[in-house]
Amino acid sequence: MNNSNNNCFKAVKGYKSILIAYYNLNINNINARNYLYNEIPEHYWFDLKTREWKLRHRQRHTIGRIFTVLPMNVELFLLC
């Protein structure tokens, strides 16, 4: 593996996607286990700086958005 590929691999390996952050939330937060993946944005918000789901303190009516990408679109699928 050349140096540029190695650097790219290290960058991707350290990247925490929204889905991985959801798994971490379920590991660390027992209450989050009551919600399906598509229900999480109603109760938690995703902090882009820390790349973690955080509990919503104001329980307003919210519309959560989870973006879907088909596996056939390999480049976008791997970025999510």
Question: How many other C-beta atoms lie within 10 A of the C-beta of residue 80?
Answer: 13
- H or E, element range at 77: helix 74-79
Q: Tell if the pTM clears 0.85, that is, is over it.
A: no
Question: What is d(CA 22, CA 28) in angstroms, rounded to the nearest whole number?
Answer: 10
Give the count of domains, the chain: 1
- What is the tens place of the pLDDT at every residue in 44-60? 999 999 999 999 887 66
Which pLDDT tens digit goes with each residue over 5-22?
555 555 556 678 888 999
Determine the residue type at 14: G
Range of the domain at 70: 3-79
Picking from 24, 27, 29, the residue whose alpha carbon sits closest to that of residue 51 is 24
